[in-house]
Structure formats: structure tokens, C-alpha cells
Amino acid sequence: MTEAFLGVDAGTSGIKVCAFTREGRLVAKAHRAVPVVTPYPLWAEIDLDRYWAATADAVREVAARVPTIVSIGLATTCPTTIVLDEKGQAIRPGILYLDGRAQAGLENVVGADADADVQQTGNRASTSTCWAANLAWIRENEPAAWAKVRRVTMLNGFLARRLGGQDGIEPTQASYSGLMRIADPRPSWSRDLLARWRLDAALLPEISSCTDMIGRVTDEASSLTGIPAGTPVALGAADTAAASFAVGLTDSGEVFESVGTSGVITFCLDRPDFEPSFLHRHHIVPGRWLAHGAMSTLGGAFGWLNNKVWPELKTLAELERLAQESVPGANGLLFLPYLAGERSPIWDAEASGSWLGLLLRHSRQDMVRAVFEGTTFGLRQILERGSAKWGKRPERMLSVGGGARNKFWGQMKADVLKLDYIMSDMPDAAALGAGLLGAIAAGLFTGSDDGELPLISASATAIRPGSQRTIETYDRMFTIFDAAYPQLRDLMHALADRSSGPYADEEARPRLGARATG
């Protein structure tokens, strides 16, 4: 009889559920797409009832194929702002990390000095890393909804409550709350930061360990998912932190890439030495921190091409074939991949994407290749910032996630980043990391340092940088890319729709509090 642990990778636009044996072998997998709802400029939400239904359906499909499920662990996109009523039901849609509606209000409260806020919390003032700003936005702009709030949580807490009857939060997601000091070795809510945002600590869940059993599958969840009632449920971790755990990222200076809707290059740190253009969080591994250089739409740019620009092109493989018909440098065409603003390294919610240098001679093939190249140039900016800060440029980089299996893009990354690019044998790193955390909670393994944990290994063959001529072409295009955003920033902001929602009259728009002093 096959005994397996379940890992749920709940992402921005899709949910992946994987079952693994104790040896880490994938035995069953299901995926469900979920739409990102964008009713107004800068808004990005998920319908939580629909999200839970998709999750339960994917879990049921996997459970039907595996005789014995011993545990469930969660890895989720982060931060997602979720408010619950007295019955634990969601009051409004969840607000995703892509959402920029609260950015102006956030700066009114904390100021626009990124370095100062990194000193305070460990992360810069951005709605991508400040859950508190979205909570305050709901309080100020949706008072009827806020009056019903009895609990606030993130996506792993929401799913844990639906599965196991109890919500919570753990350090990797709490690091993106704006309500704790990440540099402190023992995670806890900060009274000063709660006061800054005028939030009641009673609304917040207790910070638990990633490997804690938050609950057991309830009878109701069992009827929806097919998982036996009483099965242990672990909170797990944020998706990129779970992937970091699954690839064994534990030594200072190690680095890996994860590719999904967003794209992240992660450095492991042995001390809280933070860089303002990165996101920072506690690692699952005690005494370690993670620094993420996170691009908001690294993979999402290709979904945009498939869904909005050329819907007749259904897959990444079709885009790749078109791009291969162009040449390195895309015949002088450059793409800026800021399709939902951008996080690392520019941190601008009002940045926007564009093709630069577009001429009559350019083809669709050039335009698609420019998207591959532009996203990769963004990764190079991140790698160079991190290497300069922490004094070590990696010679190789392991990549995980759906986009990590693309050899054409992998060769481009090796050429642009000038390192050996290694594709993992297991693309489902976040799901494996989540599953391992659930398995630890259930007692299958002794802890995060158990030597028998089945971590992901790299493929035997690295993709190495190619011809010097190609590398020099990319170097020239990267120089232009690196200079483009500072030159275009003011124009991007002029084009941005400042309404940011249903409040067309700027004078009537509800605001967050005045700028904090002291």
C-alpha cells in the first residue's frame, strides 16, 4: 500500500497538489487554475470561495489515486490579505501581493525612505511586503466590511482553517506583515508596529512554527476532499520559503531561482544583513534568513502574451519556437517586463511594461524574444545587486518551478547571467517543501534538520554560457535595459491611472492616516 504525504502549492493563479512517498517520489499530482480578479487599476484579488473549491477539488483528485495520505502541508503565495468574520468566513476577496492600491497610503504612514523602513521591519515600505497596509486600507475604505472583522490571516491560515478548523501564521509569512522585526531571531508581533497601523493584536493569529500541526482534517473538509478526518495539517510556509527548504538552501551565500507567475532569486543569509531592493524573511531553518529578489511577472509576462496578446498561442513552448526564429538581441528590440508594477529591484507599483525600439521591420518573433530577454535582464539586475551586497557572485544557480524546465530560456539565462544554469529534476519544489513540513508535523521526520529528508537534487547536466558573441550582444542590450527605467519613470507615472479603484474624485477618496512622526 502506497503511503504518501500531501503538499499543496497554492499560487497566484493556480493550485498544485502533489503526493510524495517518504523517499520524495512524486506519485500523484493535480492542478487547478484560478483567476486573478482585477476590477480596478492597481487591484489584484482572488475569490476565496472559488479558491477553496479549486483546492478541495485538486486534493480530492489526488486522494482518489493514493490509498493512504498521512499528512498535509501548505505552501502559499504571500502576502495575501484575508479578513474573517466571527464564524471564520471570508468577508471580502483576498488581496494579493500584486495589488498596489494601498501603496500611497502606506507611504503616508511610514514615509518613502526605503532604507529607514528596512531598519524598522526588515523590508521596505511596499504593499508586497506589508500586509498591515492592506488591512488599514480595508479599515479606512470599507468600514462596513471592517466592522465585521474578528480575525485577519494570510492564505495558508485561510486554507488551514478550511482543512483543519484552525487558522494561524508562521514566520516566513509573518515576515511580510509589516508588524514584526525580521532581524529579531525569535519572531513576534511588535507593539510599536501594531500601534503605527492602529491594529488590535487580538485580531492577529499567534505565530507558530512552520512544522507545527495546526489542526486535523475536519469531517466537513474530509467530505469535500476525500482525505480521512483526523489527518494532520501543517501551516507550512510561503511558497518560495518552502521551495528553499526543499532544495536544501541552508548555507550562507547559496542561491537558487524559482519561476512561477513571479520569479525570484533567493540568497541564504546567516545573519540579518538586509539590502533594500530585496525582500527579507525568516527561513524555515532556524538561525537563517532568506533574501528574495522578486520580479512580479517573470512568468506572468508569458501568460499575458498567451492570454491577451496572441491567444492563438496556447503554451510557453509555442512562444519559445517563435523566439528561436529571432536572434540574440531581438534585432534591437527591448522589453520592460513591468506588467503589474515591479518589485525587485526598482520597487515601483506604477511602473509599466513596454517594448522599446519597435520599428516596422520588427516581427512577432522579435517581440516574443524580447520578452524572454527582458525578463532575464531583470534577473541579472537582481543577481548583481545581491552579489555586490553579500560579496559573493555565484558560479551556478539551481532553478525550480514550471518555467525552470525550458532549455531555450535556460540557455539564455546562462548567457545573460554568466553562470552555469541547472534545472532541477523535480519542478514541484514548493509542493515538496510544503509536504515535508506536513510530514514533520505528523512525525514522519524528526525536524527540519533530519538527514533523511528527501531534498531536491540538481540535474546532472548544467547549461553553460554559450558563445562570446552572444554574451557580448546581451551585455550591450542589458546596458540599455539597466538605464531604461530611470529615464522612463516619470512618463510611466504620468500614464498610470491614479484612480486606483472606484473613487474617481480624488478629494473624496478615503485616506490612511497622516504621515507618522517620530
Report the pLDDT value the prediction gives residue 252, as an integer from 0 to 100.
Answer: 85
| Segment of 179-188, 464-473, 498-507 carrying the highest mean pLDDT | 464-473
Mean pLDDT of 30-42: 94
Q: Which residues pair with 69 in a beta bridge?
A: 4
Phi, psi (rounded to 5 degrees) for 150 = -120, -10
What is the sign of the dihedral through the CA atoms of 143, 147, 148 and 150? positive
Distance, CA of 495 to CA of 135 (rounded, Å): 27
- Over the stretch 302-339, which tens digit does the pLDDT of each residue have? 999 999 999 999 898 999 999 999 999 999 999 999 99
Helix axes 429-441, 239-246, angle to 10 degrees: 80
Report the pLDDT value the prediction gives residue 427, as an integer from 0 to 100.
Answer: 77
CB environment 476-485: b (16+ within 10 A), e (fewer): ebbeebeebb
9: closest CA among 177, 239, 274?
239
- Over the stretch 229-281, which tens digit does the pLDDT of each residue have? 999 999 999 999 999 999 999 888 889 998 888 899 999 999 999 998 999 99
Q: Which three cell numbers stand for residue 455?
A: 531534498
Give the start-to-end residue ranges of the domains of the chain.
3-241, 248-423+467-500
* pLDDT surpassing 80 at residue 63: yes
Q: CB–CB of 211/159 below 8 Å? A: no
Phi-psi region of 404 (alpha: psi -120 to 50; beta: other; left: phi over 0): alpha
Report the pLDDT value the prediction gives residue 405, as an integer from 0 to 100.
Answer: 74
Q: What is the 3-state secondary structure (H, E, C) of 297-311?
A: CCCHHHHHHHHHHCC
Phi-psi region of 512 (alpha: psi -120 to 50; beta: other; left: phi over 0): beta
* pLDDT surpassing 80 at residue 461: no
* pLDDT surpassing 60 at residue 502: no
* pLDDT surpassing 50 at residue 403: yes
Report the pLDDT value the prediction gives residue 505, as an integer from 0 to 100.
Answer: 42
Query: Within 13 A of 139's CA, how many CA atoms are on the CB side?
Result: 16
355: closest CA among 373, 340, 370?
370
Mean pLDDT of 87-100: 95
* pLDDT surpassing 50 at residue 507: no
| Segment of 364-378, 384-398, 414-428 carrying the highest mean pLDDT | 364-378
Mean pLDDT of 74-99: 96
Does 3-241 match 248-423+467-500 in CATH topology? yes
pTM comes to 0.86
Report the pLDDT value the prediction gives residue 261, as an integer from 0 to 100.
Answer: 82
If one counts every other C-beta atom within 10 angstroms of the C-beta of residue 320, the result is: 17
- Over the stretch 78-89, which tens digit does the pLDDT of each residue have? 999 999 999 999
Share of the chain above pLDDT 70, in %: 93
* pLDDT surpassing 60 at residue 75: yes
The side-by-side arrangement of strands in the sheet containing 396-401 is 279-282, 289-295, 263-269, 255-259, 396-401, 420-423
Share of the chain above pLDDT 90, in %: 78
Q: Which residues pair with 124 in a beta bridge?
A: none
Distance, CA of 264 to CA of 266 (rounded, Å): 6
Helix, strand, coil % (nearest 5) of the chain? 35, 20, 45
Residue 142, SS3 per DSSP: coil
* pLDDT surpassing 60 at residue 504: no
Q: Quick one: pLDDT band at residue 58, thresholds 50, 70, 90?
A: very high
Helix axes 364-390, 407-417, angle to 10 degrees: 50
| Segment of 40-44, 116-120, 422-426 carrying the highest mean pLDDT | 40-44
Q: Quick one: pLDDT band at residue 195, thresholds 50, 70, 90?
A: very high
Q: Quick one: pLDDT band at residue 517, thresholds 50, 70, 90?
A: very low
Report the pLDDT value the prediction gives residue 127, as an integer from 0 to 100.
Answer: 85
Distance, CA of 377 to CA of 363 (rounded, Å): 21
Q: Which three cell numbers stand for residue 95?
A: 488581496
Report the pLDDT value the prediction gives residue 425, as an integer from 0 to 100.
Answer: 73
* Contacts of residue 206, Cβ cutoff 8 Å, sequence gap at least 6: 168, 169
The length of the chain, given as a count of residues: 518
Fold of 3-241: Nucleotidyltransferase; domain 5 (3.30.420)
Report the pLDDT value the prediction gives residue 511, as an integer from 0 to 100.
Answer: 40
Report the pLDDT value the prediction gives residue 508, as an integer from 0 to 100.
Answer: 37
Q: Quick one: pLDDT band at residue 107, thresholds 50, 70, 90?
A: confident
Residue 84, SS3 per DSSP: strand
Report the pLDDT value the prediction gives residue 395, as an integer from 0 to 100.
Answer: 92
* Contacts of residue 100, Cβ cutoff 8 Å, sequence gap at least 6: 42, 44, 127, 340, 341, 349, 350, 500
Task: Report the mean per-residue pLDDT for the chain.
Answer: 92
Report the pLDDT value the prediction gives residue 516, as an integer from 0 to 100.
Answer: 30
Fold of 248-423+467-500: Nucleotidyltransferase; domain 5 (3.30.420)
* pLDDT surpassing 70 at residue 501: no
Mean pLDDT of 379-391: 95
